[in-house]
Amino acid sequence: MRDTVLGMPETGMAGAIAAYISVGAEPETNGLVFALWKRGSYVLLPVLQDDSDLDWASYEGPDSLAPGPFGLLEPTELRRGPDAIRSADLVIVPALAADRDGNRLGRGGGCYDRALARVGASVPTVALLYDHELLDEVPAGQHDQRIRAVAQPTRGITRMPA
């Protein structure tokens, strides 16, 4: 998936990219985040706040990460605030599953839905999924934010309808 995301035209044109460091059984993102940073992208990573909203800080290499809550690795750089995601030209998000309409199933805390609500309508949002996690339908509520594409190991990029 690293090479698939790196090969997207939107990735090549993006100056600032919001991403995340995977945890547990999520598709691995450490290599992707490092590659984005090494090629000169400004990479923002989330910092989980006490109110379950996401703050953002820059990734400055593997040594700029420290343990956070719930087994997460978070950046140690200066916090940029929840609105920092507005500066991203591409947003890479975690998901447990997604459907073909762009509905994304997260872990239920709503932190990424709040963050995605701050992202402009023309900014690509991409969820990283295993092949079996793109479904015909996932539950979606009124506050859930749609993604615009998914990246999968063998299927590559699947674009969602506008």
| CATH, residue 87 | 3.40.50.10420
What is the separation of C-alpha 126 from the centre of its chain, rounded to a whole number of angstroms?
Answer: 7
Q: How far apart are CA 35 and CA 53, in angstroms?
A: 27
* C-alpha to C-alpha distance for 150 and 147, rounded to whole angstroms: 8
Give tens-digit pLDDT for 48-103: 999 989 999 999 999 999 999 888 999 999 999 999 999 999 999 999 999 999 99
pTM over 0.75: yes
Structural domain of 78: 2-159
Residues contacting residue 96 through CB under 8 Å, at least 6 positions apart: 105, 106, 107, 133
Tell me whether strands 149-152 and 156-159 are parallel, antiparallel or unpaired.
antiparallel
pLDDT at 153 over 90: yes
DSSP helix/strand/coil, 37? helix
Chain segment 31-45, per-residue pLDDT in tens: 999 999 999 999 999
Q: Report d(CA 90, CA 14) in Å as an integer.
A: 6
The number of folded domains in the chain is 1
Q: Name the nearest CA neighbour of 18 among 87, 65, 64.
A: 87
Confidence of residue 107 (pLDDT cuts 50, 70, 90): confident
CA dihedral 48, 59, 31, 39 (to 10 degrees): 150
